[in-house]
Amino acid sequence: MSLFDTNNNIPSDITMDSQITLVDSDPDSELAPPDPAFGATTILDFDNNVRRSTNATLRGQSHIRYSVGTVRTGLAGMSRKTVFSQGERILATVQRRNIIPDVLTLDGLTMRLGCWLKTPIFSSFPASFREGRETYRWKKGRDGRIDLHKGSGANTSTIARFYPSDFVVTRDRRRIKYRAHLDLRAEADLIREKVFISCVLIVQKTKRRAKAKEQELDLVSPNGDLGLIVFYAIAPVLGF
């Protein structure tokens, strides 16, 4: 039985408390000032640093525009499904797997996540997807930022930027935490939902890779089965 109805809506009998991981918002963070040099026309502010679950609000509005939640499915809730939604409308879902590839459902199509958002096997970047005839690539930027480029070769332009949550010190020596945000130029705003979904997925993957590397350092096998241990440690982050 599907968790969602035929119109891709979240049924009313599914509760946030029992089915979906609650969002841990940070009430002490502030909105980062826009970068006038970049010229974003739309800014999405995240209520945390893009964890398993998060909400994004359109700058200048008070209601949540997009949500990312984690639904536990399968036997005893052992499987996880990442759900991207706008209000009650499901934009996309990702069925998470431990060893075999994750499965994405987007625009009514179901496919391997790596078939839509392509990344190198042992790296998160560059991460690319296609929309129409255009190719878009997420690449590393400065200070933990990631940039979305449109086009290929020499004819590329940066059309979106994701800034992680960061601390800054003001002139009056106050320490401020800025919320993570996704800045979109007009070209990116035309495909805003795809930009949002791909951005969250690549940030989450980067976090999983970092966590897996930390775990690798702690793994010691008394029987010398290091290869098997490392395989299981990195399996969730090989590609998608």
Full DSSP string of 2-44:
-SS-TTSB--TT--HHHHBPPP---TT-BPPPP-TTTT-SEEE
Q: Where are the beta strands (DSSP E) in 133-199?
A: 134-140, 146-150, 157-163, 166-169, 175-178, 181-184
Closest CA to 117 of 51, 192, 202, 188: 202
Amino acid in position 43: I
Residue 210 has φ and ψ, to the nearest 5°, of -65, -40
Q: How confident is the model at residue 78 (pLDDT cuts 50, 70, 90)?
A: low
pLDDT at position 14 over 50: no
pLDDT at position 22 over 90: no
| Residues of the chain above pLDDT 70, percent | 76
Dist. CA 38–CA 124, nearest whole Å: 24
pLDDT at position 235 over 60: no
User: Mean pLDDT over residues 89-99, rounded?
Assistant: 92
Angle between helices 226-234 and 192-218 (to 10 degrees): 160
Dist. CA 21–CA 2, nearest whole Å: 18
pLDDT at 122: 80
Residue 81: beta bridge partners?
Answer: 71, 95
pLDDT at position 66 over 80: yes
**Segments forming the whole domain that contains residue 122:** 16-237
For residue 7, tell me if it sits in a domain. Answer: no
Domain count for the chain, please give it: 1
Q: How many helices (H) and strands (E) does the chain have?
A: 5, 14
User: Mean pLDDT over residues 111-135, rounded?
Assistant: 93
User: Mean pLDDT over residues 8-26, rounded?
Assistant: 41
pLDDT by residue (tens digit) across 161-176?
A: 999 998 887 778 888 8
For residue 5, tell me if it sits in a domain. Answer: no
pLDDT at position 226 over 60: no
Least-confidence region, from 35-39, 97-101, 105-109, 138-142 = 97-101
For residue 11, tell me if it sits in a domain. Answer: no
For residue 119, tell me if it sits in a domain. Answer: yes
pLDDT at 94: 96
- H helix runs in 94-180, sequence order: 113-116
pLDDT at 20: 38
pTM: 0.80
For residue 4, tell me if it sits in a domain. Answer: no
For residue 200, tell me if it sits in a domain. Answer: yes
pLDDT at 12: 39
Q: Which tokens sit at 28?
A: 């002490």
> Which of 51-55, 194-198, 202-206 is modeled with the greatest confidence?
194-198
Q: How confident is the model at residue 6 (pLDDT cuts 50, 70, 90)?
A: very low
For residue 2, tell me if it sits in a domain. Answer: no
pLDDT at 50: 84
For residue 50, tell me if it sits in a domain. Answer: yes
pLDDT at position 7 over 60: no
